[in-house]
Amino acid sequence: MKRRTLWIAAAALLVLSAGWYFESPWWTLWRMAGAAEAHDVKTLSAYIDYRAVREDMRARINARIHERGGLARRIGGTLEKAVMGAAIRPEGLRASFLISGITGEGKPLGPGDIWVLRDSFSQFRMVRRDGKGKTLVFRREWLWWKLVAVG
């Protein structure tokens, strides 16, 4: 009897783990979209790793500045600070999340509208199937996901 109980518990744990692995990205998106639309900056911030988003955005800005060269390089530091100051705040990322197109036109998009592309067990990207909007990159932090890049 003990052996059967152990097998049932192991099977239940496996089913729950698989459910979490496949459904937790959708739960995260649903919570973020709801918080963004409700102007709930505190809840939205719980799903964002601001340090990682800043580093990613800084690298993207610097790459574009160095591509252009000349005057862009000279004013690049000032431009970077201005963009970073405006965009990497709870309100700025809320607006970016809404504008990105992941949330759709007034309603969250569903599984038929978005691809979840897994890069590894601890990272995935969400992209719209129609190619519009931004790519949202998430990394696992313990059992939950945090936004680390918008690209």
pLDDT digits (tens, 9 = 90+) for 25-47: 888 888 887 887 788 888 888 88
Cβ contact 66:79 at 8 Å:
no
d(CA 21, CA 137): 16
Q: Collapsing DSSP states into helix, strand and coil, what is residue 45?
A: helix
pTM greater than the 0.85 cutoff: no
For residue 96, pLDDT beyond 80? no
Kind plus residue range of the DSSP H or E element containing 10: helix 2-37
Mind listing the pLDDT tens digit for each residue in 124-150? Answer: 998 878 777 778 899 998 888 999 988
Using CA of residue 28, residue 32, residue 33, residue 38, what is the dihedral sign? Answer: positive
pLDDT of 70: 62
Cβ-based neighbour number of residue 87 at 10 Å = 17
Look at the chain and report how many structural domains it folds into: 1
Q: What value does the mean pLDDT of the chain take?
A: 77
Q: Collapsing DSSP states into helix, strand and coil, what is residue 137?
A: strand
Cβ-based neighbour number of residue 66 at 10 Å = 11
Domain extent, residue 69, equals: 2-150
